[in-house]
Chains A and B, each alone.
Chain A
Amino acid sequence: KAGVTQTPRYLIKTRGQQVTLSCSPISGHRSVSWYQQTPGQGLQFLFEYFSETQRNKGNFPGRFSGRQFSNSRSEMNVSTLELGDSALYLCASSSGGRVQFFGPGTRLTVL
């Protein structure tokens, strides 16, 4: 089975722009979660989608949003980018059990 894939792997944006990141889960997995990883804050949970519905949400501002499609693929969007949004964004998928499988991440740099 193919693992979790994320596109693009690297992205450079400027402040004020918006960005969309994509995640394709492992085939058959219906839960997709997103995490932000920064040197200062570590790994933080953004949100989780299951069957096209947001099921859990972390403590991030409304500029961070996501969605899930009927094929379980997920996108996250960050609007009005700030320098502090520079991070590695990780997507993880789960079959509904306790284990989450992570993708390689998208490294976002905001200039």
Chain B
Amino acid sequence: AQSVTQLGSHVSVSEGALVLLRCNYSSSVPPYLFWYVQYPNQGLQLLLKYTSAATLVKGINGFEAEFKKSETSFHLTKPSAHMSDAAEYFCAVSDGRQGAQKLVFGQGTRLTINP
């Protein structure tokens, strides 16, 4: 069975500082990995995805993530935090089998940006 663990339910950084949100996964098959962001009272917006191509994935809003198979990790980073980045972030894994659309999510990390 697949699972995702996000380390830290709350992360607080200063505006302009590095953002690092941690995600570790467990999967018995080659995984597809995703980061989604959720703003208050909204649905989930895709930030980026890893689908077995390049291990360093660039997403929207300046975010990127690196797939490390040896560490079973897919951490999300952004060099310089902006106030608008305050939101909840979810890491998710999908079974790589053809046609499988089930996403398994981590518990989420709430990111707070301090002025």
Contact = CB atoms under 8 A, between A and B. Distances in A.
Please tell me the size bucket of the interface on A. Answer: 20 to 34
Contacts of B44: 90, 92, 102
A1 interface: no
Given A42-B108, A43-B90, A102 B101 contact: no
A58 B102 contact: yes
Interface residues of B, number: 24
Contacts, number: 56
A104 B43 contact: yes
Interface in A72-111: 90, 92, 94, 96, 98-105
A42 to B, nearest CB: 5
B104 interface: yes
Contact of A45 (B43, B46, B103, B108): B103
Interface string B93-115: 01000011111111110000000
Nearest to A6: B43
Decide if the interface of chain A is mainly helix, strand, loop or mixed: strand
Contacts of B106: 42
Given A98-B51, A102-B44, A103-B43, A43 B102 contact: no
Nearest to A41: B107
Given A104-B43, A105-B43, A99 B49 contact: yes
A104 B101 CA distance: 19
Contact of B45 (A31, A50, A102): A102
B39 to A, nearest CB: 10
Contacts of B107: 42
Interface in B18-66: 32, 34, 36, 41-46, 49, 51
Interface of B: 32, 34, 36, 41-46, 49, 51, 90, 92, 94, 99-108
Given A90-B44, A99-B49, A105-B42, 4 more contacts: A33-B102, A45-B104, A92-B103, A104-B41
